[in-house]
């Protein structure tokens, strides 16, 4: 397979991490970069391909008597938790 030489500018921290990862795998940095490019070009690493619309509720409960959370109830719970934390802070 013919290869093309090129120069890339990447952030220092990314370079160090990639070089380290290649060493841990027993591979060369150029092989790691080539594998990464193949993944991106194949669409496997594209963030847009993994996005799905979230449907609510995330957790469905079939048990009777479960608590139904409303915005109002969540605000009450948060206020109660803040009061508890503030009370502990004031007792110190």
Q: Note the pLDDT of residue 17.
A: 92
Query: Is residue 7's pLDDT more than 90?
Result: yes
SS3 4: coil
pTM (2 d.p.):
0.46
> Which of the pair, 46 or 4, is modelled with greater confidence?
4
Using left for φ > 0, alpha for ψ between -120 and 50, and beta otherwise, residue 74 falls in alpha
- Cβ pair 18, 29 in contact under 8 A: yes
Helices (H) and strands (E) in the chain, counts: 3, 0
Report the residue count for the chain: 92
Residues 18-62 pLDDT 10s: 999 999 989 999 999 999 998 888 876 555 555 677 776 666 666
């Amino acid at each position: 397979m013919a290869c093309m030489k090129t120069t890339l500018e990447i952030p220092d921290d990314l370079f160090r991490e990639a070089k380290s990862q290649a060493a841990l795998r027993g591979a060369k940095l150029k092989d790691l970069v080539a594998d990464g490019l193949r993944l991106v070009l194949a669409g496997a690493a594209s963030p847009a391909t993994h996005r799905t619309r979230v449907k609510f509720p995330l957790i469905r409960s079939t048990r009777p008597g479960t608590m139904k959370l409303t915005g109002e109830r969540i605000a009450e719970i948060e206020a109660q938790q803040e009061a508890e934390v503030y009370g502990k802070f004031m007792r110190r």
